[in-house]
Amino acid sequence: MTDSTPDNTRDRLLIQAEHLFSQKGFAAVSVREITSAADTNLAAVNYHFGNKTNLYTSVFKERWVPRAQGVRKFFKNSLSKKQTPETADVVRAIATAFLGGTMTDDERRCQISLMQRELAHPSEAVTIVVSEVIRPMHHDIRELILPALSEDISLEQLTLSIFSIISMILYFGFAQPVVSRVMEQEFDAQFKSRVIDHIVSFTMNGLNGIRKIEEKIAAERISAVDIMAATLAGSRESALVLRPKPRIVDINTNPSIQGRIPLPIGHGSGRPPWNRKMVIVPIKKM
């Protein structure tokens, strides 16, 4: 029995529901339409899933998420032989996993279409996707590329960079008909390889640009708050000479700083309302 016509009624419902939901969206698909496509009786959805909403959520849990986890597994396996992969290796592995990997073209189109419709009308399914797919994938990528980035980069900037990388890859995935027509080029294996090369090159230039900007900002960030933080950290000389480049200290993990940074007027107890990393300006006696 093939995957498209399994003998198990519950599996047939999941497969046909996924197909219909990806084509029309949740609201436009009726239970009768699903059961008819699955060649079963009208009560089967309630019997196996309770209702249409539960069936929709199960499509993500049992169909969408496993395929996405397969992409993550392909990505990690492709880097497993590299003890310390370069950032370019990581980006190439991500692009290859998404644009090639284990999914067929039909599965990839279904995956993208289903998620696009979910994002247009978010439900519990998007929470499942974030928890079981997106957060773990972001964690993998962050841990792999962080050592190559500037120590001045914030968690927000790093996360946005990862979103930008994945967004570019996804666009080349779902917009292949557009890219092919604009480029007047069939999206075959050879062209896909050149697209991946472009993604790697473009990403590396972007990350290098971010690093230079962050380092420049850190070097120029000299203010009264910086001087106060340095003084409270243990240096109390009245005459100060600032070195050219400040040092970044994580106030969440540095015991000598925690609890010693004054909060702005009107701000209660808890974290300071600025970035989790604070600039500490090195000082010395005149």
pLDDT given at position 276: 43
- pTM equals 0.70
Same domain, 132 and 162: yes
Residue 209 domain-assigned? yes
Give every CB contact of residue 31 below 8 A, 6+ residues apart in sequence: 42, 45, 52
Instruction: Give the sign of the dihedral formed by CA 176, CA 180, CA 183, CA 188.
Output: positive
Same domain, 126 and 240: no
Same domain, 106 and 120: yes
Same domain, 111 and 181: yes
Q: Which of 203, 219, 235 is the last residue of a domain?
A: 219
Q: What is the dihedral of CA 136, 137, 143, 145, to 10 degrees?
A: -170
Same domain, 193 and 250: no
Which of 93, 89, 88 shows the shortest CA–CA distance to 205?
A: 88
pLDDT in tens, 30-41: 999 999 999 999
pLDDT given at position 212: 74
Same domain, 230 and 212: no
Residue 39 domain-assigned? no
Coil, strand or helix: which one is 191? helix
C-alpha–C-alpha distance, residues 279 and 8, integer Å: 61
Same domain, 79 and 213: yes
Q: Per the structure, how many domains does the chain have?
A: 2
pLDDT in tens, 40-96: 999 999 999 999 999 999 999 999 999 999 999 999 999 988 888 899 999 999 999
Residue 207 domain-assigned? yes
pLDDT given at position 152: 72
Same domain, 213 and 232: no
CATH (domain of 164): 1.10.357.10
Same domain, 128 and 256: no
Same domain, 186 and 282: no
- CB of 235 within 8 A of CB of 281? no
pLDDT given at position 222: 56
Same domain, 134 and 248: no
Residue 191 domain-assigned? yes
Type of residue at 20: L
Same domain, 150 and 233: no
Residue 183 domain-assigned? yes
In which residue ranges of the chain is pLDDT below 70?
1-7, 214-215, 217-286
Task: State how far the alpha carbon of 56 is from the alpha carbons of 8, 13, 51, 269, in Å.
Answer: 18, 10, 9, 44
pLDDT given at position 179: 95
Q: Which domain holds residue 146?
A: 75-219
Residue 149 domain-assigned? yes
Which of 72, 75, 100, 103 shows the shortest CA–CA distance to 90?
A: 75
